[in-house]
Amino acid sequence: MEDDLLICRCEEVTRSEVEEAIRMGLRTVNEIKRFTRAGFGLCQGKTCGRLICDILIREADMAPSEVLPGTSRPPVRPIPTRVLANRVSKEDE
């Protein structure tokens, strides 16, 4: 597979950058995300997350069951800040 293949389109992270992270000893999707920024974009890793799991299984010689998906963070889709700010919670009343 080509080294400059894009794994994360949002943050333009290539396969070779993910492999570099694995060579450094990183073994989870979360660590690779923090090191390469793959998964930090608007889609929050919806595409690259699984690709990175695949690369980990192959390059780090891990069993598929050992590779955990990255942490999903709210909001699931980008939400305008003003919408979040207008939320009134019980604690604030």
Partner 1 sequence: MQTRHETEVVVIGGGVVGCSIAFWLAKRGKDVILVDMNAPGTGTSVACSGLIGGTFKFPNFYMELSIRSAYMYPKMVEELGEEIGLRQDRGFLSLCLTEETYKEYSSLREEHLKSPVYRGRMMAPREVWEIQPGVSREIVGAHYNPDDGDCEVLRLMYVLIRACQRVGVRMLRDAAVTGFALGGDNRVEGVVINHDYLIRAPNAVNAAGVWATEVAKMVGVTIDLYPDRGQLLITEPAPMICPTPMNSLKQVRTGHFHIGTVHELVGFDVSVTPTASARMTKNAIKSVPIIADLAVIRQFSGLRGMTRDGIPCLGAVSRVPGYYIAAGHSGITLAPVHGKVISDLIVDGRTDLPIDEYDPLRFERKNGSQS
In whole angstroms, give the CA distance from residue 71 to residue 6: 21
Amino acid at 29: V
Q: Which is nearer to partner 1, 2 or 73 (CB)?
A: 73
Does residue 64 touch partner 1 according to CB under 8 A? no
Q: What sign has the CA pseudo-torsion 59, 25, 10, 76?
A: positive
Number of residues binding to partner 1, judged by CB under 8 A: 31
Q: Which residues bind partner 1 (CB under 8 A)?
A: 24-28, 30-31, 34-35, 37, 40-42, 44, 71, 73-75, 78-82, 84-89, 91-92
